[in-house]
């Protein structure tokens, strides 16, 4: 079905924006609310969900070579149950991507294009990502290879330019109330890190599978550093109280940049780059959904599904989400739990069954 192949490094570059794309908007404020001035520590704890996701995805692939999670869950759980689980997982990703596109578009309309209707932003983004998905995994991999480095470069530039305004003492006293607040702050970001499980859809198409583990880990470490650096930057600049009250602290931080009154008002450039990163994110998830659906229904080609499913994603970005309050509430209460079940516990369960099967040889291969 998928004849394209990507390199492990392309996979890493695809995964980086998957996690940071929308996370970087929400995570600083959410973690500041829960963890106070230990907010920078929360992503480090939250990364454990990413480690688990990469570990399970890689081991599942080792035990079930050249198959995506849709294919091996059917083999491990039986045809009926396997298909049900696969559909539930795909439904989860559909809701997640719809919600993600909505977060993105609310951010764009809320801070820049105030009068542009949400559906324009949502559907133009989904149309573009549909074209990329139709191109297959190779096209997405190369797109990521081109866009993600620029994305990372601009983030680094932002951190560099904001440096003169940072006050590190805002982080003190550290661990005033022990580790509990920072662990609480990790509850929401863990769901973003768990998105690393999407590699379960990509590993079968990685050229040198052995390097997949290394590049997966590199990507995870890069994401952890990014979130920690982002949280540190907004904490050092704004302090915990102001950060917790702001909706998009990183945007405020970028707007605060002023070097010699010349290098300022950078947010529109940063925004353009950020949209590129968000595009990679939605495309990768959308690809997983489309490929997975085609595999569940055992189609010969997934191309016919691209546009209908992208349209469905657009619908999911509206269903049940009236406004930004719903998105924020969903991201901080419902999503962490469903993500824990679908992206952490379910794969761990499959891995257990897989091990059991290998040890006992009970189920036919």
- CB within 8 Å of 172: residues ≥ 6 apart: 37
- The piece of 14-22, 56-64, 83-91, 165-173 that touches other proteins (CB under 8 A) is 165-173
239 binds other proteins (CB under 8 A): yes
What token pair was written down for 112? 């820049």
- The piece of 38-46, 104-112, 151-159, 220-228 that touches other proteins (CB under 8 A) is 104-112
- The piece of 97-105, 111-119, 137-145, 279-287 that touches other proteins (CB under 8 A) is 111-119
Task: Report the candidate in 331, 326, 286, 327 with the shortest Cα–Cα distance to residue 309.
Answer: 286
Q: Is 365 exposed, middle or buried (0-12, 13-18, 19+ CB in 10 A)?
A: exposed
Q: Please list the residues that pair with 263 across neighbouring strands.
A: 259
179 binds other proteins (CB under 8 A): no
| Closer by beta carbon to other proteins, 195 or else 240 | 240
Q: How far is the CB of 314 from other proteins (least distance, A)?
A: 18
113 binds other proteins (CB under 8 A): yes
| Closer by beta carbon to other proteins, 169 or else 301 | 169
> How many residues sit in the footprint of other proteins (CB under 8 A)?
26
What token pair was written down for 220? 């995870």
Q: At what angle do helices 249-256 and 137-162 cross, to 10 degrees?
A: 60
Q: How far is the CB of 45 from other proteins (least distance, A)?
A: 21
Residue 245: other Cβ atoms inside 10 A: 12
Q: How far is the CB of 169 from other proteins (least distance, A)?
A: 6
* Burial letters 326-356, b for 16+ CB under 10 A, else e: ebbebbbeebbeebbebbbebbbbbbebbee
Mask of contacts with other proteins, 242-281, x by CB under 8 A?
Answer: x--xx-----x--xx-x-----xx----------------
Do the Cβ atoms of 170 and 235 come closer than 8 Å? yes
- Phi, psi at residue 118, to the nearest 5°? -60, -40
Q: How far is the CB of 116 from other proteins (least distance, A)?
A: 4
Chosen residue from 66, 116, 180, 333 binding other proteins by CB under 8 A: 116
Sign of the torsion angle spanned by Cα atoms 242, 243, 245, 246: positive
- Phi, psi at residue 265, to the nearest 5°? 55, 45
Q: How far is the CB of 97 from other proteins (least distance, A)?
A: 24
Residue 161: other Cβ atoms inside 10 A: 18
Do the Cβ atoms of 85 and 292 come closer than 8 Å? no
Q: How far is the CB of 140 from other proteins (least distance, A)?
A: 23
Chosen residue from 115, 164, 362, 365 binding other proteins by CB under 8 A: 115
Chosen residue from 238, 278, 306, 351 binding other proteins by CB under 8 A: 238
Q: How far is the CB of 245 from other proteins (least distance, A)?
A: 8
3-state secondary structure of 6: strand
Residues that bind other proteins (CB under 8 A): 110-117, 120, 169, 172-173, 176, 237-239, 241-242, 245-246, 252, 255-256, 258, 264-265
């Amino acid at each position: 079905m998928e004849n394209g192949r990507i390199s492990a490094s392309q996979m890493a570059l695809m995964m980086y924006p998957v996690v940071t794309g929308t996370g970087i908007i929400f995570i600083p404020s959410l973690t500041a609310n829960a963890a106070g001035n230990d907010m920078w520590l929360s992503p480090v704890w939250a990364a454990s969900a990413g480690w688990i996701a990469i570990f399970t995805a890689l081991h599942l692939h080792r035990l079930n070579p050249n198959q995506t999670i849709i294919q091996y869950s059917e083999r491990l759980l039986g045809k009926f149950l396997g298909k049900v689980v696969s559909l539930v997982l795909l439904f989860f990703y559909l809701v997640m991507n719809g919600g993600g596109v909505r977060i993105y578009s609310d951010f764009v309309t809320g801070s820049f294009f105030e009068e542009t209707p949400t559906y324009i932003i949502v559907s133009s983004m989904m149309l573009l990502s549909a074209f990329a998905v139709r191109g297959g995994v190779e096209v997405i991999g190369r797109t990521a290879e081109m866009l993600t480095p620029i994305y990372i470069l601009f983030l680094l530039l932002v951190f560099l330019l904001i440096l003169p305004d940072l006050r590190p003492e805002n982080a003190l006293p550290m661990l005033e109330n022990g580790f509990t607040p920072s662990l609480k702050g990790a509850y929401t970001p863990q769901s973003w890190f768990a998105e690393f499980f999407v590699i379960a859809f990509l590993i079968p198409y990685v050229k040198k599978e052995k390097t997949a583990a290394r590049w997966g880990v590199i990507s995870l470490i890069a994401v952890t550093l990014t979130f920690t650096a982002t949280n540190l930057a907004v904490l050092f600049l704004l302090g915990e109280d102001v950060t917790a009250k702001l909706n998009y602290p990183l945007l405020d931080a970028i707007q605060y940049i002023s070097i010699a009154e010349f290098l300022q008002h950078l947010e529109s450039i940063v925004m353009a780059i950020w949209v590129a990163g968000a595009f990679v994110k939605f495309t990768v998830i959308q690809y997983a959904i489309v490929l997975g659906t085609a595999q569940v229904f055992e189609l010969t080609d997934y191309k016919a599904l691209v546009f209908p499913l992208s349209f469905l994603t657009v619908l999911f970005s509206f269903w049940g989400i009236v406004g930004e309050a719903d998105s924020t509430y969903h991201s901080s209460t419902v999503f962490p739990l469903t993500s824990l079940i679908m992206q952490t516990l379910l794969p761990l369960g499959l891995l257990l069954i897989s091990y059991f099967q290998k040890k006992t040889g009970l189920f036919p291969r």
